[in-house]
Amino acid sequence: MNKTELIEHIANTADISKAASARALDAIIGAVKTTLKKSGTVTLVGFGTFTVGKRAARIGRNPRTGEAIKIKAAKVPKFKPGKALKDAVN
């Protein structure tokens, strides 16, 4: 399912227009991005938790030349599914 299909599904399920569901989805995505940018967490009970993890700097290899390169430390978004989501999938 892509973003367009998700917007259509929200519109049909919530009985609202596609434009309204697109704005709602964009607002949710924006809120999650803003919170993660501030190193916060977003917990949706029954769905899961979005957090920010830290990846340490490391030495990697250029696959073309085999030369060692330095990879900078980075913050990465992480998602941990909730129990209800795990149960729904299994």
Report the half-sphere exposure of 2 (CA within 13 A, side-chain side). Answer: 1
What is the structure's pLDDT at 5?
A: 96
What is the structure's pLDDT at 16?
A: 96
What is the structure's pLDDT at 85?
A: 95
Q: Summarize pLDDT for 21-48 with one digit per residue, the tens.
A: 999 999 999 999 999 999 899 999 999 9
Percent over 90 (pLDDT), the chain: 98
What is the structure's pLDDT at 33?
A: 96
Q: Are 34 and 26 spatial neighbours (Cβ–Cβ below 8 Å)?
A: no
Percent over 70 (pLDDT), the chain: 100
Q: Are 25 and 6 spatial neighbours (Cβ–Cβ below 8 Å)?
A: yes
